[in-house]
Amino acid sequence: MADTTCTIPLAGGEIEIVMYGLEGSVGIDHAKLAAGEATRLQDIFNLYDPKSELSMLNTKRGKTVSDELRYVLAKALQYSRETGGAYDITLGRQYLARKQGRPLPNVSCTYEDITMDENNVSLNHPDILIDLGSIAKGYIGDRIAEYMQECGIESGFIDARGDMRAFGSRTETVAIQHPRKNGRIYDPILLQNNSVATSGDYVQYTGSYDNCHIVGESDLASVTTVAERLADADAIATCVFVLGSREAGKFLSKHPEIKALTVDKKMGISAYNGFQSLIKGEAASEH
C-alpha cells in the first residue's frame, strides 16, 4: 500500500505529514482532519492573532484558560524554574522587538509574576507578554501525531519546519544543519518513536547572529535535542541555548532522558546523554 505525503498550514508556514501504508484518498481525508486540529490549536497559541486564547490572556491579564493552554503554560513555567529564569516566557515584548529589528525594551517582569491555580491564570506585572513560540509548535506536533494515531494511523512522520516527530515502527534519518555553512550537514541521526528539535542563531536574525530571534546571550550557535515528545525537545533546545555551554551539562544531567548536541560559536561540538547512539556516522565528543 502506498504512503501519503501532504502539507497543512500552520503559523505562517506549513507542516509536512507522511502517513505510511495509506492509500492516497484515505490519507488525504486524514490530513484534512489533522489540518482542522492544527488550526484549532493554532487559534489557542498564536501570539500574532489578537483573537487567539493566548492573546486574550495577554490582553485581559487574567482568565480561565483551556486545558491545552494550561498544560503548555505549566510545562513552560517548569522549565523557567529549572533554568533559574534564563528561559522566560514573559519576555514577549523583547522577542517581538528582536523579530522587528528594534532595540530591546527594558522589562522587569519574570516568570514568577505569573500565577496559576488549576486553569485560572493571572499576569501580575504590566511588562508581561507571554510568548509560547518555543514550545507551542512542538506541542501542536505532538497533538497531531496523537490525533493521527487515534484515527488508526500506525506509523508516520511530522516535520513542523525543522521540529520533527516520528511515530510507529518506521525509522527516519534526520540531518542536522551546520549553523554557519548553508547546505552542509553533520552526520545524520536515526529517529524512531521520538522527536527532534533545534534552536539556533542562524535562521532568524537581524544584522548578526548575536541579534537572533532567541532573546538572551549565549556562546552557542545551535542546540539539537531528542526527546520522546516534541514539546519537550522544542523547549529544552531553547533552554540549553540560553543557558550556554557552561550550564548545559548541569541542566541536561537533570534530564537524562533528553539527548542533546550543542555547537558553540567556535564550532566546537559536544554531545550529552548518549546522543552518540543516534548518530549514523562518526560520533561526537560525549560529555
189: CATH: 3.10.520.10
285 occurs within a structural domain:
no
Residues 181 and 163 both lie in one domain: no
Residues 80 and 111 both lie in one domain: yes
- Would you state the pLDDT for residue 285? 42
Q: Which residue has the higher pLDDT, 184 or 191?
A: 191
- Would you state the pLDDT for residue 11? 66
Mean pLDDT of 103-121: 94
Residues 242 and 118 both lie in one domain: no
8 occurs within a structural domain:
yes
Q: Which residues sit opposite 165 in a β-bridge?
A: 158, 195
Residues 140 and 206 both lie in one domain: no
Range of the domain at 110: 62-123
Residue 55 predicted with pLDDT over 60: yes
204 occurs within a structural domain:
yes
Residues 247 and 184 both lie in one domain: yes
Q: Which residue has the higher pLDDT, 179 or 108?
A: 108
- Would you state the pLDDT for residue 216? 60
Question: Based on C-alpha coordinates, what's the Rg of the chain?
Answer: 19
54 occurs within a structural domain:
no
Residues 33 and 80 both lie in one domain: no
257 occurs within a structural domain:
yes
283 occurs within a structural domain:
no
Least confident range of 123-137, 197-211, 235-249, 261-275? 197-211
Q: Which residue has the higher pLDDT, 182 or 81?
A: 81
Residues 266 and 226 both lie in one domain: yes
Q: Give the total number of structural domains in the chain.
A: 3
Residues 186 and 259 both lie in one domain: yes
- Would you state the pLDDT for residue 259? 97
57 occurs within a structural domain:
no
Q: Which residues sit opposite 5 in a β-bridge?
A: 18
Least confident range of 17-21, 74-78, 105-109, 188-192? 17-21
Residues 227 and 212 both lie in one domain: yes
Residue 114 predicted with pLDDT over 70: yes
Q: How confident is the model at residue 287 (pLDDT cuts 50, 70, 90)?
A: very low
240 occurs within a structural domain:
yes
Q: How confident is the model at residue 181 (pLDDT cuts 50, 70, 90)?
A: confident
Residue 235 predicted with pLDDT over 70: yes
Q: How confident is the model at residue 56 (pLDDT cuts 50, 70, 90)?
A: very high
Residues 163 and 179 both lie in one domain: no
Burial class (CB in 10 A: 0-12, 13-18, 19+), 234: buried
Residues 199 and 250 both lie in one domain: yes
Q: How confident is the model at residue 74 (pLDDT cuts 50, 70, 90)?
A: very high
Residues 231 and 245 both lie in one domain: yes
- Would you state the pLDDT for residue 1? 55
Cα angle 72, 74, 79 (rounded to 5 degrees) comes to 95
Instruction: Find the CATH number of the domain harbouring 66.
Output: 1.10.3980.10
Round to whole Å and give the CA distance between 159 and 143.
13
Least confident range of 48-57, 117-126, 161-170? 161-170
Mean pLDDT of 278-286: 57
Residue 276 predicted with pLDDT over 80: yes
Q: What is the pTM of this model?
A: 0.89
